[in-house]
Structure 1
Amino acid sequence: MGFLVPQAHGEKDVLITNVLHQLAQVRTSVYGLSNEQAHSAPTASSLNLTGLLRHCALVAAGWSTMAAQQINMPDVPGDIGEDMDMEDCVAHPATVDETLEFFDRCVTYASGQMESIADLSAPMPIPDAPWFPPELEFWEARWALTHVIGELARHAGHADVIRESIDGKGSYELNDLVDGLDPNREW
């Protein structure tokens, strides 16, 4: 997979490719970890890797649904589950394998939703939340996808710090390991 986002053509494909690449980067953070390690919070924060995976999966599912359907409160399938705040995601007891299965299911769903976006300029209502400016009436589907890219990139950084705190493995090494490459190879 590597660090470089795969080449894509056209605005919609570039946005979708970037969302999926950030999700893949977060997914690599648990590669080779035990359940105990993936649930640990080795930094000053209470975040753990399984919680970040669950949160990122829900972010992708929810925001992609809003972008595709231009609705305020996304109706994601029941097998994805209800939206959870970060604390609930971090506290969720699922194993690494169960978390990855949930994550992959959400990513597949989000990918389908993003592919179904017919018009990136289509307005979507602003979700009802106190942190969104009250004067905003809508934003475009393209804005929603760029918002998802930004949030996932932030969380990929969180995952990097947490993983490096657990065993010192960084993203470049993990990408190589996931791809079956020797991380110590000569360039």
Structure 2
Amino acid sequence: MTTATDQVTTGERADLLEALAKHRFFLTFPARGLTDEQAGQRTTASELCIGGLIKHVTATERSWLDFIERGAEGMGGNEEGWQDNFRMLEGETLAGLLEAYEQVGRRTAALVASLPDLDVSHPLPEAPWFEPGARWSARRVLLHLIGETAQHAGHADIIREAIDGAKSMG
């Protein structure tokens, strides 16, 4: 029996997943060799740390996958603890955050492979940052995740360079 994770993804789907994988690499590469303490270290005026960025992108991707599967209701909308998605909390480890990120990546690949069509869409939840009445397709969500991951990969690179001078490129 063939499952969604056994399917070979080609064409546009493969291109989207490859682009997301490239930016996932650039988000997680700055975490290489860090201790849990370093991964939770803030090195700029912002609240961001490398572990927190990985945690945030994981939660964001998970939420958008829920949107693709169930629409706006799947996203939850729980704002309580939102700030905790940007920092490592006591008991969290970099290894645990990276594993959670890998799991959501596997879920994304399986979902993309199993969707009947990337045009499957839902109305966005009501929020001041979304255009009223707008709908996003699975394709649009994937493009958003690629952009979100790329943006935070740049943040992670800057934070890592401030920790010990290590760079992702160059």
**Normalised by the shorter chain, which TM-score bucket?**
0.7 to 0.9
Matched, 1:33 2:58: no
Q: CA RMSD in A?
A: 2.4
Say which SS state the counterpart of residue 102 (structure 1) adopts: helix
Match of 1:87 in 2: 83
Match of 1:122 in 2: 120
Match of 1:131 among 129, 134, 144: 129
CA distance in 2, matches of 1:143, 1:105: 22
What letter corresponds to residue 167 of structure 1 in structure 2?
D
Say which SS state the counterpart of residue 171 (structure 1) adopts: coil
What letter corresponds to residue 60 of structure 2 in structure 1?
V
Match of 1:23 in 2: 24
CA contact (8 A) 1:19 1:149 kept: yes
Closer/same/farther in 2, CA of residues 146 and 20 from structure 1, 3 Å limit: same
Closer/same/farther in 2, CA of residues 65 and 135 from structure 1, 3 Å limit: closer
The structure carrying a bigger helix percent of its residues is 2
CA distance in 2, matches of 1:97, 1:91: 12
Name the TM-score, length of structure 2 as normaliser.
0.82
Compute the displacement of 1:117 (Å). 2.1
User: Identity, % of aligned pairs?
Assistant: 33
Structure 2 gaps of 5+ residues are 1-8
What letter corresponds to residue 108 of structure 2 in structure 1?
A
What letter corresponds to residue 167 of structure 2 in structure 1?
G
Compute the displacement of 1:74 (Å). 2.5
CA-to-partner distance for each residue in 1:60-116, whole Å, 9 max, x for gaps?
22223323x25223279xxxxx88765212142311122222222222222222222
Match of 2:96 in 1: 98
Name the TM-score, length of structure 1 as normaliser.
0.75
Between 25-34 and 115-124, the greater mean CA deviation after superposition: 115-124
